[in-house]
C-alpha cells in the first residue's frame, strides 16, 4: 500500500538557520512521482518540486534543495539560510504511475516556524 510519512510534526528554527524536512514513502510501484507542496498561513497549496522514480539527481533551486534516495525511500527537503517567509506547512506527496491522472497521497505535513 502507498504511504507517505513526515515524522516531524513541527520544527522551529531561527532565521538564517538551515533546516531539513524529512519524507519517507512506501510504494510497490516501480514508477512513481514525488512532490513537495507548501501551504503558507494564507492557506493555498503551492507546488514546489516534482521528482520521478528514475531520476535520483539532487536538485537545487535557490535556497531550496531536495535529496532523493531510493535506497532509503526518502525525499528530503532542505532550506538553506531560512527566512521568516518560509514559515508554512510543507507536504510531501506520492503519485503512482498506474494511477491515471496521479492520485496524490499526502504526508501529514511538517509545520515550519522561522523566528526572526
Partner 1 sequence: DAGVIQSPRHEVTEMGQEVTLRCKPISGHDYLFWYRQTMMRGLELLIYFNNNVPIDDSGMPEDRFSAKMPNASFSTLKIQPSEPRDSAVYFCASSLNTAYNEQFFGPGTRLTVL
CB of 96 to partner 1, least distance (A): 7
d(CA 34, CA 17): 26
CB of 93 to partner 1, least distance (A): 8
Closest CB to partner 1 among residues 16, 103: 103
Closest CB to partner 1 among residues 51, 86: 51
d(CA 31, CA 27): 9
CB of 65 to partner 1, least distance (A): 18
Are 109 and 22 in contact by the 8 Å Cβ rule? The answer is no
The residues of the shown chain that bind partner 1, judged by CB under 8 A, are: 32-33, 35, 37, 43-47, 50, 52, 91, 95-97, 99-109
The angle at the Cα of 45, spanning 58 to 77, to the nearest 5 degrees, equals 25
Amino acid at each position: 500500500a502507498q504511504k507517505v510519512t513526515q515524522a516531524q510534526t513541527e520544527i522551529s528554527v531561527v532565521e538564517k538557520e538551515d533546516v531539513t524536512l524529512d519524507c519517507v514513502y512506501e510504494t510497490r510501484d516501480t514508477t512513481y512521482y514525488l512532490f513537495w507542496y507548501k501551504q503558507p498561513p494564507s492557506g493555498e497549496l503551492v507546488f514546489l518540486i516534482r521528482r520521478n522514480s528514475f531520476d535520483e539527481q539532487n536538485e537545487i533551486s535557490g535556497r531550496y534543495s531536495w535529496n532523493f534516495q531510493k535506497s532509503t525511500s526518502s525525499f528530503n527537503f532542505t532550506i538553506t539560510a531560512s527566512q521568516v517567509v518560509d514559515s508554512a506547512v510543507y507536504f510531501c506527496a506520492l503519485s503512482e504511475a498506474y494511477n491515471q491522472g496521479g492520485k496524490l497521497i499526502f504526508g501529514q505535513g511538517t509545520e515550519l516556524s522561522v523566528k526572526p
